[in-house]
Structure 1
């Protein structure tokens, strides 16, 4: 890459958006009936949906293959069932990762009497025809408080367990790491992008203050780099970052409430 860091802001109001009554969803990348050639993927990151599913409703049994699919639970409870025999109720702080590989079927429903708010994330695997596998991890708010919690990391890296349930990040068969933080007002976190030769990052601010298809509100952060790139993000906003290896990315909470921020580091 020639030149320095490049930022591309993805405003929440520009995301694909659908309100089906039982499901209120935003699509950061092309998905289902939403198609945007300018925003179809970023590195190995293919889908980033912010879903709210009403109580006693959900996604019926459907099939997937050749994707790494994970769910990050923000609030409420999500019931997961799949063709591998896994049945589980996921709650705040839980992260579920399904390596669909040669093919799986699963269903996901809001469990209990409350809406479930979660992020559905897909990445493209580096290897085809993998054996399907399922993993869950749990990260407390304290573990994410004003620090980066690494919640997903490439399979085979040191400290990344392939056990169904374990401490540490969930394994993904993609060149992708996912970090999460609950960043207090006035606090700043940095992260050095260390993918060889060329680094990509995607920053997403979770829409924790409530469903809002209009102008973003609530939490506000500033993302910056030493070469003077900077961008202000509000809830629902995303930021594509392309940078030379070793670039330090700083995320500062410039708002008045805690910001829940996801940072994807990509090859």
Structure 2
């Protein structure tokens, strides 16, 4: 069996900006950061790790033909959109907007502290779909030393793709219109996890829990198929068929890890 190939994407090589109200890192080309070598990977188009200052944020703006999801790490994120959804998202919440033919929304820090979240975009497999909105919650306890499937394709097993009207909260992963499955874990020091990957591509990201731009010298350290990664680092994965990915926490603290399986 061929081994999974790991191509590191180190934190210091990502696009980044400090706008005072927003401190952000871009894994892929975004806004003023453009790098043709890092434009997208499979259906994955954007991974922005954002810290938005209290009572500020992204004003109302429009999107179409993207699947847009937010993974809240710390603080509270206030969401409003043109579908009349208003919600305050907290740690453990995953919010997914299937923009389809077009939506407008705003995303702001709620309350008196900054919000730290991952903003992720993927390309839909089908165009001109009606816009939809979903939220899910996954507790720290669920993620402890275990992979939790937080986003999965609409036709995947266990996905409640019809929970759309009335209550936006359903059970299981949020349904995405892309061939993409997203997992999350809180991996304890000294522990390891294995995940069967469908492939042929994947991406892994270590969340910057220790602070903005601190991943180079501080924070959690993991190994992905033997490749060391610190907070803020990620890696492209090239996956042969029927492969298991092994991730080890070789540091001295819990690592929050996001993993994408890109079919």
Question: Which band: TM-score by shorter chain?
Answer: over 0.9
Report SS of the residue matched to 1:252.
strand
**Distance of 2:205 and 2:186 partners within structure 1:** 12
In the alignment, does 2:238 pair up with 1:242?
yes
**Distance of 1:4 and 1:259 partners within structure 2:** 24
Matches within 5 A, 1:77-88: 77-88=76-87
**Distance of 2:71 and 2:159 partners within structure 1:** 18
**Distance of 1:90 and 1:110 partners within structure 2:** 10
Partner of 2:27: 28
Report SS of the residue matched to 1:244.
coil
Partner of 2:196: 192
**Distance of 1:137 and 1:214 partners within structure 2:** 28
In the alignment, does 2:191 pair up with 1:176?
no
**Distance of 2:232 and 2:215 partners within structure 1:** 10
Question: Which stretch shows the higher mean deviation, 159-168 or 209-218?
Answer: 209-218
Instruction: Return the offset for 1:4.
Output: 4.8
* Superposed CA RMSD: 1.3
Instruction: Return the offset for 1:213.
Output: 6.3
Conservation of the 8 A alpha-carbon contact between 1:59 and 1:108? yes
Conservation of the 8 A alpha-carbon contact between 1:216 and 1:237? no
Gaps of 5+ in 1: 225-229
Note the alpha carbon deviations across 1:173-200, whole angstroms, 9 max, x for none: 00000000000000000011124xxx21
Conservation of the 8 A alpha-carbon contact between 1:216 and 1:235? no
Note the alpha carbon deviations across 1:147-186, whole angstroms, 9 max, x for none: 0000000002221012121111000000000000000000
Conservation of the 8 A alpha-carbon contact between 2:80 and 2:87? yes
Report SS of the residue matched to 1:38.
helix
Conservation of the 8 A alpha-carbon contact between 1:186 and 1:254? yes
Matches within 5 A, 1:1-267: 4-162=3-161, 163=163, 164-195=168-199, 199-212=200-213, 215-224=216-225, 230-267=226-263
Aligned length: 258
Note the alpha carbon deviations across 1:8-57, whole angstroms, 9 max, x for none: 10000000000000000000000001001110111100000000000010
Moved over 4 A (4+): none
Note the alpha carbon deviations across 1:75-117, whole angstroms, 9 max, x for none: 0000000000000000000000000000000001000000000
Instruction: Return the offset for 1:245.
Output: 1.1
**Distance of 1:97 and 1:25 partners within structure 2:** 20
TM value normalised by structure 2: 0.96
**Distance of 2:214 and 2:157 partners within structure 1:** 41
Instruction: Return the offset for 1:6.
Output: 2.1
TM value normalised by structure 1: 0.94
Instruction: Return the offset for 1:215.
Output: 2.7
**Distance of 2:135 and 2:83 partners within structure 1:** 14
Conservation of the 8 A alpha-carbon contact between 1:13 and 1:214? no
Question: Which stretch shows the higher mean deviation, 154-163 or 254-263?
Answer: 154-163
Instruction: Return the offset for 1:216.
Output: 5.0
**Distance of 1:158 and 1:248 partners within structure 2:** 20
